[in-house]
Amino acid sequence: MNSDYFQDFKDYTSKNTNLVMVMIIFSIGIINLFYGEKMQLSNGFGADGVIYGNWARDFFGTVFKPGDYQIFKRIFPSAFVHFSLCILRIPLSDINIIKGFEIYNFVLLLITVYTLGLITDYLNFSNKGKWLAFTGFFLNFIYLKHMLYIPVISDVSAFTFGTLLLYFYLKKNRIALLIVMIIGTFSWPIFIFGAMILLLFPTEDIIPAKTPNHYNIIFSILIVAGAFGYIYYRHFIQGIIRSNIGHNPINESVIALSIGFCLTYLFFGLKNILDSGSLYQIGSWIKRDNMKYILIGLFLGFLFTCIVIVTLAASTKIPGGVGRLWTKLYVFFDHLLIAPVARPFYPVVPHISCFGPLIILTIFLWKQIARTIHQYGNGLTLFMTAHFILTTMPSSRQLLNFFPFFVIFTVKAFEEFRFKASYYWFIAIISLLYSKVWLRINVTDTESSLLNPLGNKYIMNYFLYNNDFAYIAHTFIVIITIIVFYFVFSNKIFSED
């Protein structure tokens, strides 16, 4: 009798995988709303959440305050919470604002998992592939601990809109892409640049072509040389030792190893993703039926850039518009190239620790992933190239807007090897362990401090701030996991390359 019930349950989940995935995220969300562990800092708002909370409390008074120009920042989640509470005539108190963000994030995550099901259906994933994609999306520290622990953030918005961006790109729905791009930009400002690429260059069937004259290697070398030049100028000439105030400083004793690993990571990653012959054929970019979208996109991009420059120039926070603009550019490139050389293996260890061991498969399968991406056209190739460069940043949460792309195409490449179900279970179990769902983050008041990593279990997993002991521990675990994954999966993955 029990075996019959089990078989019926197994058959139901196999036939209704998408619904079961939604039900799991719904259940986790409900439990988290009522019983989940929450951030205690700043009355529950956290660090950045204080800003978002102020926007939600007094939207017009803070966002449109002269001289601040917050309108070009992550205002959409706060605006949604603000107007929702106002429409429902609910007081804009701290507890109501925080609860408003929790419900907003809860709904977005349901949209995310539902869209994930649509994507996996469109790409004809097997049930095993669907669950592996679910594992990559949700069985990780970023979802199970970070997103659920800190409600007043825009990270969930970036994650959801990134997933929607991928779906509408695959479906060639440019109107929906444009809408997602606009909303996403006011949730995650860097969102506009990637979305614009996909909007201008839609998916198309590309026949793989050989890259002429080793252009992929030449461009990879040029980018790596530029990266080294920036690191050398900022650190060795200007003496910059950290990417931002409070971030971990560069460890001078191992800086050669840190720089060498970072530049090697960049070169081999770019070498594969740029190895597409159609990238270097002008005719594949300029097509009659696409020209009007390209012209419109260029105009919008130019207009947006002008508005941002004028806004920065008019800002009162840093005297001198040009100085403020250069400061913003330095901050961005310091995050991109100074932060990853603060410690050895920085472009890899934080992402595997935060997003889970599926990222190890992304590394193993990167050549196959790149080939798959090339088949969807130059737009996706350019999008993934630009965002691969951004993966040098050790702050994994900054990658949430394009993280869904990496998960989906990793699973698509993995599916080609037709592994048995036991391998998928193995990845899911290791992912669950990596998620630290078992870790209680909140500690006693005497230990808890954002500026005291030794006593803060959340900061222990935030790699821009965690201490050396925490980083060494994470690095050791990641290296062991990579070795285990190599022996488990190498027979098929590397023998069939």
Cβ-based neighbour number of residue 453 at 10 Å: 19
Average pLDDT over residues 465-481: 90
Quick: pLDDT tens for 393-411: 998 999 999 999 999 999 9
The type of residue at 186 is F
Alpha-carbon 432 to chain mean position: 19
Nearest to 32 by CA among 207, 168, 156: 156
What lies within 8 Å, CB to CB, of 140 at 6+ separation is: 354, 355, 356, 358, 431, 434, 435
| Percent of the chain scoring above 90 in pLDDT | 60
Instruction: Give the confidence band of 47 by pLDDT, cuts at 50, 70, 90.
Output: confident
Residue pair 220/271 in contact (Cβ under 8 Å)? The answer is yes
Q: Where are the domains of the chain?
A: 2-210+337-493
Residue 474's contacts (CB-CB under 8 Å, 6 or more residues apart) are 349, 350, 353, 461, 463, 466
- For residue 323, what pLDDT is reported? 47
Q: What pLDDT is stored for residue 454 in this prediction?
A: 43
**Which residue's structure tokens are 């695959």?**
170
Neighbours of 494 (CB within 10 A): 11
For 168, the token pair is 């509408």
pLDDT score at 272: 95
Q: Which pLDDT score is estimated for 134?
A: 98
pLDDT digits (tens, 9 = 90+) for 290-348: 666 666 666 666 666 665 555 555 444 444 444 455 566 778 889 899 999 999 998 89
Could you tell me how far CA 214 lies from the centroid of its own chain? Answer: 30
Half-sphere exposure of 438 (CA within 13 A, CB side): 6
Give the pLDDT mean for 106-120.
Answer: 97
Q: pLDDT (tens digit, 9 = 90+) per residue, 149-203?
A: 999 999 999 999 999 999 999 999 989 999 999 999 899 988 988 998 998 888 8
Amino acid 332: pLDDT: 84
What does pTM read for this prediction?
0.90
C-beta separation of 38 from 151 below 8 A: yes
Confirm if 369 and 413 have CB atoms less than 8 A apart: yes
Q: Are 183 and 76 in contact (CB under 8 A)?
A: yes
Per the model's pLDDT, the better-predicted residue between 203 and 370 turns out to be 370
The rounded distance, in Å, linking the Cα atoms of 196 and 79 is 23
Distances (CA, A) of 298 to 168, 180, 189, 287, 295: 21, 18, 18, 15, 5
| Amino acid present at 98 | I
